[in-house]
Structure 1
Amino acid sequence: MTALSANPNTTLANVEVPWQQSILQGTSAYYSELAVKGVLRPAWADFLSRLPTTGLSDHLDSKLNALAKQIRDNGITYNVYADHAQGTSRPWSLDLLPFIIDQADWAVLQTGIAQRARLLNAMMADVYGKRELLSKGLLPADLVYGHSGYLPQMQGTEPPNKVWLHMVAFDLGRSPDGKWWVITHRMQAPSGLGYALENRLSISRSFTRGFREMHIQHLAGFYRDYIDGIRRLSPKGDSARIALLTPGPYNETYFEHTYLARYLGISLVEGSDLTVRNNSVFLKTVNGLEPIDGLIRRTDDQWLDPLELREDSQLGVPGLLQAIRTGGVVMANMPGSGWLESPAIHGFMPGLGQHYLQEDLLLPSVPSWWCGESPAWAQASERLNNLVIKSTGPNRRGRTMDSIMGSELDEIEKRAWLSKISQRPSQYTLQELIPLSRVPIWTGAGGIEERAMMLRLFAVTDGQGNYTVMPGGLTRVAGDQHGIVSMQKGGTSLDTWVRSGEPVERTTNLKEKLQAKDLQALRRPVSSRAAEHLFWLGRYTERASFSLRLLMRAQLLLNEEEYLDTTTLGLLHELCGKQGLSTEFDPAEPLTQDELEANILERLWYKTGVDESAAVGLAGQLNGLANVAGQLRERLSSGHWRLLNDCAKVLIEPEWVRFQRTLPTASLEQVQLYLLAMHGEQSDHMTRDNGWRFLQLGRQLERLCGACDCLLSLTSMPGRAGEHGLALAIALADSTITYRSRYQHRFEWLPTLDLLIFDEDAPYAIRRILYKLDIVIDRLPGDTSQIRQLFDSVYRNGDMPDGLSLEGLQPPFPADTGRKLRAWLQELLDTAYKVSDLVGAQYFRLAELPDQVIQGR
């Protein structure tokens, strides 16, 4: 496999890939990051020199396919409209080729971004402090006080070391002359840190040689600086407990919240996980309340505190702003920065830079005109064709209108917009339309083409007034050759490589050496919310497994038996009805064999276009599993999470289902494989912490409910305990092979009871289930006396109630013994539900419990 030479004058013609025609022709309409006048730029000549000259297209295609598989397997997603109900989550889009920044460019970008971060932090401190920029007329007061992002509740607050902005994101574009321009600032909850890291891990593996030999700077040190800077501002220093506050799994960038929290080694929390006591923030855990010293937030300002901000917020924490003001928690970033995100600010940045820093800005802002200033509006309105219309700030609902390209307006639309702006000029800002530079992307069969790009760079504070810039970033690319740059509108992303002039030392976020005192502090607490979701993960896993076994047995009976007796048919219908797999059983109006099969088939599929809450039966249970998995993403392995999500897709209604007359064997067997793998993940591949114990508690309680329901149905009517009924009960306990190998006999009453109730080794036998529940309840955290007392009322140290023994149940037995058996089974079933309710009240709803604060770290 030969490679191109690293000739700085390598032409496009030397590289055997299909080039987009406009690349070959060249143009002055935009800046090409790839080549100039047909000659590759040095960075790209260097990169391509490390790729094979022969079979290059096939080589890149294979890497692109591998990359797509990796993204799919790792579950990297982006929720396009942040609307889970509409099923808009899609795989993250990442192109194969990186965006490469050379040393000269980076020197300017790095210094300019750090300078701007210092300036923005100084502006925040001034507005909520002395307010000189307003009193001296450096910035119109309306741009601050008239913006919904200004929070008067934060006036007079003094954060540690006057650090308001712990992390700032900047979106930049390059104009045709090669000059970089700052287009937007992002301070409230800027996305991209997690995706940038995942992009780096994926692309550096695809081009290992190029990444190493081109001396590409690493990212790990930047993330270490980020978390260290926050800890430095906390009174507890290195021992400070930090968490990442997320709006939850319906947020468009939830994947990166979970990914970032796991990478940084901190807890991922939602507003409902936290509570404020005595101006301090605590995490509700199954052990009580644990203090939180710092929060990295991914929730916008207005949703942070329903007491002082939006009262309808379900995402925030009551009392959080007061805790921030009094220094009870370090918040990164501090609330109240939304006004700095206004595009109108850019027109005033040069003067502000001189005032606060006594420096010219190294990176200019895109030319901007706030229409609230009459001279600016008069000047800009004359050249609307070359400008972009933007809202100065969000409306009362927190929404910002999409940008309007003046060049795309006809004369009627143009006059309408001029009139609209004239009526409320302060609500609009006009910005210069910069033709964005183009980067090469690999389209597969289409070869290499160029698309418009924007670069998002990040800066974090060290806590002492200085800012470090990530030696990389998130490069976003338009979805097509003429589209706008937006991930929500079909765009893609690139890994961003920053070159160094010398070999780069490897960096890591791992501590060099852990001390004994570190070990306990590093154990991740189990929040009440996580425990609840793990509990239901266990219950749904068992419930779906039971339903699947019932469906597979129903398939066997309904398809292979030409005529099924009415007693067995009634038993099958009653069990299916209890699980939501069919309509409920009505002895007065029994269904025929064909009617029951049609009824089950109708409820089997999850119908597309229908709200998922309407899903019933097995499809509903699998959707429940997927939903719970979405809430637990940071606690599940990628393999486990993928199993849970992929399994739910198996029963999405296919187009051919209307022609289906029988239960689909292949689909049910596919679900069976997924569920078996889930059982393996949950039993053998999860840490045995308190979270796992709640998962096991849920599984065993659901298993007990299934066993009792089955035996109650089996014994509810005379004749049901025939050979078909007993075989069905054994199948539902997943014990058919055990029965046949042990007893080597047809299905009979006594050996069936032995296997379903008395056996201490059979996993679905009631005695075994009670034994497992006894162990897990014993190891639950905190005071379990109420749960223990309730459970012991039926467990009796493993002893059966008087009169219920294997010998006593040998036919023929008195009718009173049968009644005792059914009463005992009903008592077990009722107790299982009561234990579930008691566990929920004690562990999952801590907000109403008395303060129980854990002091130890």
Structure 2
Amino acid sequence: MATDNLTPPPEALLQYAPRDGRFDEAFAADSRIRPHWQYVLDALSRLGIAGLQNRQHKAQRILRDDGANYNMVGQPQKTRVWGLDPVPLLIGSEEWSRIEAGLSERAELFDLILRDLYGPRELIRNRILPAELILSHSGFLRACQGLNMPGEQQLILHAVDMVRGPDGQMQVVADRTQAPSGAGYALENRTVMSRILPSLIRDSQVHRLALFFQALRRKLNSLAPNGGTPRVVILTPGAYSETYFEHTYLANYLGYSLVQGGDLTVRDGFVWMKSLDGLHRVDVILRRVDDIWCDPVELRGDSHLGVPGLLEAVRAGNVVVANPLGSGILENPALLKYMPRISEFFLGHPLTLPSARTWWLGDPADREYVLTHLPELIIKPTSRRPGQQSVYGAQLDEKGLAHWHRELTRNPAQWVAQEANLPSTSPTLQRGGLRPSPTVLRGFAVADEGSYTVMSGGLTRVASSGRQMVVSNQLGATSKDTWVLASEPQRLTTLREQQTSLLSGEQSSDLPSRVVENLFWMGRYSERAESATRLLRTTFMQLNSASTLPDSVRHQLLQSVTEVTGTQPGFSPQDPQTFDNPETELLNVILDSGRFGSVCSNVQAMLSCTEEAREMLSGDTHRVLSDLRDTLNDLPAQLQPDSLAAPEEALDPLITSLLALSGLSQESMIRGFGWRFLEMGRRLERTLQTTLLLRALLVPVLDDDAEEQLLEAALMCGEVLVTYRRRYRSQPELRNALVLLLLDRSNPRSLQYQLDQLTQHLYELQGGASTSLLSEERRTLLEARTLLQLSRAEQLAELDDQGQRQALDTLLSQLFERLTATATLIAGHYFEHQRNPQQLVNTRWGDEE
């Protein structure tokens, strides 16, 4: 890059010191600013460090509210909010033209390599590539020999990791071809930056990203083997994938259905998506699942992430998978050693973007060099494994060097070494100032009309500290928005210009039954959590009231906590000590996430369901869910045993968040399948929880004063105590309370209201007036409604000859039984599918994983 016309840094950036021996993106060696950085750094300097920190906090809040996160490998419960630095990475227009040409050229070359390795294998035949480098690699799938997709290119998406060496030139250090990630995060970064620095982006004339996604949509739609309007789905490994946020983000942005392996089935040689209204044929699968996991019949037999029979459907030409199965072989970093010869063989000239100098230890000469120069090199495996990172030889001590000498000698063909051209640095906001951080740029190319369209930008990752040599998300790297500066203002282009013509209404209504099931259980778990929290809050209020609680009321309240939440053994007459010192047990019922029925257990189960149905939830809903997670994390600190604070106050924010979630489902969700099942789950569970509560508090017969206190507790849990006082202007009486809690259709928490709503949902779901036959679930629900409608509050409140409230107990018991049966019938009707076929033989002999 040119170093003339450099400008001294503004006052606010004088503390920034580029690192010796590294190329700095923004500053030359004499600390003067590079020309294309001048305008942006002047603007950031005017903001000052405090202003930048403010923008960074705002960015993190937006990312949190958007649910943008990154899951850690092997730690399914550990996620972190996606990190975004407010200082972008800038690339000038002239330099970007060279990079863009190099990325397009490299994608074309890798497409030719893919065709050759699963076709004639001329590269092996002409001894340009060693046969053992390809044929012994785990990414080479013999089952994919001869697979071809429609169109001129086989490789649809290609991602390239680049670093700038000390000479300022970009070089490639890795290629990603199986399921390249990062494009969605780059788009999210741009969206956030346009909110925190809108005028700076506009005035800097930054290239937009929408053209890349237009090309991606155009290409995927063109791949449909059957013509017409294609059905395209995005196949994800699920909510515990590291980049699951990106999967849902792209599905929403592109308008495609997000599916997991269990949502798809192969029948008669075609791939179908299982939804509530039947099977929908799938034409194109954009996969985010690695090769080996995609088909448990022909590839990895223990996989639950793929679709049994998928390869056979691909061979028959009935579905297209992008990127094609088998493309993982192109991620072998040992290929970089041979790229100059491959380029000359296929293209007749060297690559525009050179690769980092690479040695493959399967070559004896390379192995000898690597073992004698290990401290100068970076060691990488030829096949990526979860959690495995590159090793920088200069950071190894004598023991580490000896270990790697042994490892590289024991399995030499499984390792490569690369020259440790330490990446360039860029200004990053760290530790209260701008610091130089190692920087890696990932560029993206998508096949498009005979060539490749390159994203005008990319995903820039920076190390979490200047001392870190390996830049990896798993090691805590953060990201930057990548600004390619245009020489003139950009025409406004968005993906949504094409959305109407490319998407049919039928496509947008596709909903895998798995998503609907998770919405159903989201409703149930949220009601369980709310019911338990309300009861616990009421119990704490009664226990901590100024007046002493009678032992009978105290015992009944505590016993009701166990009976309603199901947290056995809990409060039991067989263990009287728990009644004398109830605080420990009550706090466990709230905080013990490993205990079935606890508040934390129910909330976490609900949050897991929201992850599986993430694409169905609005931005405001994600914000409430983030607040709910924060509230849950804060609870242990606020509920310390023997603290002077009132525990019920710590539960108020939790109830508020759950109520906000319920309200948003009413105000923000389209009244489709998803919303109906969410509501049905909520109504079913509210009915079940209310029957449990009323049986625990109102069926036992106590003296008048004690019963009055339990009635008040029941009305408080049902959120109708104020309504009762205004309506009846008297102390609680059982008959009136039963009218309000059981039979009042105007009370949205009464049993009658829940059953009416459930009936209406099932009526609409099953064809409404168009069908006269009652399904089993509607029939069972009708029995429950009839039992309730025929009941009389005064009879339920009366004592029988044995001095018991047998009529009330019987009614509540019958209602619980029929509602439980209704829930089971709904699940059996809509959610239970036959298990997919699995491989009958082991195909992983000798596999060390």
How does the TM-score come out when normalised to structure 2?
0.92
Listed one character per residue, the Cα deviations across residues 181-218 of structure 1 (whole Å, up to 9, x for unaligned) are 11000011221011100111112333322322222110
Q: In 2 relative to 1, CA 746–493 (structure 1 residues): closer, same or farther, beyond 3 Å?
A: same
Structure 2 residue corresponding to 1:636, chosen from 609, 617, 641? 617
Tell me, in whole angstroms, the C-alpha distance in 2 between the residues paired with 1:827 and 1:641. 38
Matched to 2:643, the amino acid is Q
Tell me, in whole angstroms, the C-alpha distance in 1 between the residues paired with 2:503 and 2:42. 47
Matches within 5 A, 1:359-758: 359-394=349-384, 398=385, 401-410=388-397, 413-414=400-401, 417-443=404-430, 445=432, 447-462=433-448, 464-484=449-469, 485-511=471-497, 514=500, 520-560=505-545, 562-578=547-563, 579-580=565-566, 583-587=569-573, 589-590=575-576, 594-606=580-592, 612-614=593-595, 616-651=597-632, 652-654=635-637, 657-660=640-643, 664-719=647-702, 722-758=707-743
Corresponding residue for residue 33 of structure 2: 40
Listed one character per residue, the Cα deviations across residues 32-67 of structure 1 (whole Å, up to 9, x for unaligned) are 4433422210111122244564x6233323222222
Corresponding residue for residue 241 of structure 2: 251
Tell me, in whole angstroms, the C-alpha distance in 2 between the residues paired with 1:174 and 1:32. 9
Tell me, in whole angstroms, the C-alpha distance in 2 between the residues paired with 1:603 and 1:27. 57
User: Structure 2 unaligned runs (5+)?
Assistant: 838-849
Listed one character per residue, the Cα deviations across residues 574-599 of structure 1 (whole Å, up to 9, x for unaligned) are 32002146744434555575423442
Q: In 2 relative to 1, CA 568–28 (structure 1 residues): closer, same or farther, beyond 3 Å?
A: closer
Deviates more, 1:356-365 or 1:413-422: 413-422
Corresponding residue for residue 844 of structure 2: none
Matched to 1:370, the amino acid is W
Per-residue deviation at 1:477? 0.7
Identity %: 34
Matches within 5 A, 1:772-811: 772-781=757-766, 785-796=775-786, 800-801=789-790, 804-809=791-796, 811=798
Matches within 5 A, 1:247-286: 247-286=237-276
Matches within 5 A, 1:313-352: 313-352=303-342
Per-residue deviation at 1:663? 5.1
Q: In 2 relative to 1, CA 656–706 (structure 1 residues): closer, same or farther, beyond 3 Å?
A: closer
Deviates more, 1:551-560 or 1:43-52: 43-52
User: Structure 1 unaligned runs (5+)?
Assistant: 1-6, 607-611, 851-857
Per-residue deviation at 1:816? 11
Deviates more, 1:628-637 or 1:169-178: 628-637
Deviates more, 1:593-602 or 1:466-475: 593-602
Tell me, in whole angstroms, the C-alpha distance in 2 between the residues paired with 1:841 and 1:465. 49
Contact 2:128/2:342 (8 A) holds in 1: yes
Deviates more, 1:201-210 or 1:612-621: 612-621
Corresponding residue for residue 225 of structure 1: 215
Structure 1 residue corresponding to 2:135, chosen from 127, 145, 155? 145
Matched to 1:695, the amino acid is L
Tell me, in whole angstroms, the C-alpha distance in 1 between the residues paired with 2:31 and 2:567. 65
1:58 aligns with 2:41: no
Listed one character per residue, the Cα deviations across residues 467-525 of structure 1 (whole Å, up to 9, x for unaligned) are 1110000011111111121121121111001112111001111145847x965324332
Corresponding residue for residue 847 of structure 2: none
Corresponding residue for residue 809 of structure 2: 822
Per-residue deviation at 1:556? 1.7
Structure 2 residue corresponding to 1:10, chosen from 7, 28, 33? 7
Structure 1 residue corresponding to 2:155, chosen from 154, 165, 169? 165
Q: In 2 relative to 1, CA 558–593 (structure 1 residues): closer, same or farther, beyond 3 Å?
A: farther
Tell me, in whole angstroms, the C-alpha distance in 2 between the residues paired with 1:416 and 1:674. 52
Tell me, in whole angstroms, the C-alpha distance in 1 between the residues paired with 2:766 and 2:184. 33
Corresponding residue for residue 109 of structure 2: 119
Contact 1:570/1:590 (8 A) holds in 2: no
Deviates more, 1:641-650 or 1:225-234: 641-650
Q: What is the SS of the residue equivalent to 2:671?
A: coil
Matched to 2:415, the amino acid is Y
Deviates more, 1:316-325 or 1:691-700: 316-325
Q: What is the SS of the residue equivalent to 2:826?
A: helix
Q: What is the SS of the residue equivalent to 2:511?
A: coil
Q: What is the SS of the residue equivalent to 1:35?
A: coil
Per-residue deviation at 1:549? 1.6
Tell me, in whole angstroms, the C-alpha distance in 1 between the residues paired with 2:540 and 2:804. 34
Deviates more, 1:836-845 or 1:575-584: 575-584
Tell me, in whole angstroms, the C-alpha distance in 2 between the residues paired with 1:513 and 1:384. 53
Structure 1 residue corresponding to 2:176, chosen from 176, 179, 186? 186
Residue-pair matches, total: 823
Give the RMSD, CA atoms, in angstroms: 2.6
Tell me, in whole angstroms, the C-alpha distance in 2 between the residues paired with 1:388 and 1:160. 39
Contact 1:101/1:499 (8 A) holds in 2: yes
Matched to 1:424, the amino acid is N
Per-residue deviation at 1:377? 2.9
1:846 aligns with 2:833: yes
Per-residue deviation at 1:824? 2.4
Listed one character per residue, the Cα deviations across residues 708-746 of structure 1 (whole Å, up to 9, x for unaligned) are 222322454322772112112222221111100100100
Contact 1:573/1:582 (8 A) holds in 2: no
Q: In 2 relative to 1, CA 384–718 (structure 1 residues): closer, same or farther, beyond 3 Å?
A: closer
1:291 aligns with 2:281: yes
Contact 1:528/1:846 (8 A) holds in 2: no
Per-residue deviation at 1:550? 0.8
Per-residue deviation at 1:164? 2.5
Deviates more, 1:380-389 or 1:821-830: 380-389
Q: What is the SS of the residue equivalent to 1:455?
A: strand
Contact 1:380/1:430 (8 A) holds in 2: yes
Corresponding residue for residue 841 of structure 2: none
Structure 2 residue corresponding to 1:832, chosen from 803, 819, 841? 819
Tell me, in whole angstroms, the C-alpha distance in 2 between the residues paired with 1:70 and 1:717. 51
Contact 1:571/1:720 (8 A) holds in 2: no
Q: In 2 relative to 1, CA 729–647 (structure 1 residues): closer, same or farther, beyond 3 Å?
A: same
Matches within 5 A, 1:71-110: 71-84=63-76, 87-110=77-100
Per-residue deviation at 1:239? 1.4
Structure 2 residue corresponding to 1:19, chosen from 15, 30, 38? 15
Deviates more, 1:713-722 or 1:259-268: 713-722
Per-residue deviation at 1:641? 2.5
Q: What is the SS of the residue equivalent to 2:195?
A: helix
Q: What is the SS of the residue equivalent to 1:441?
A: strand
Contact 2:560/2:697 (8 A) holds in 1: no
Matched to 1:509, the amino acid is L
Q: In 2 relative to 1, CA 335–810 (structure 1 residues): closer, same or farther, beyond 3 Å?
A: closer
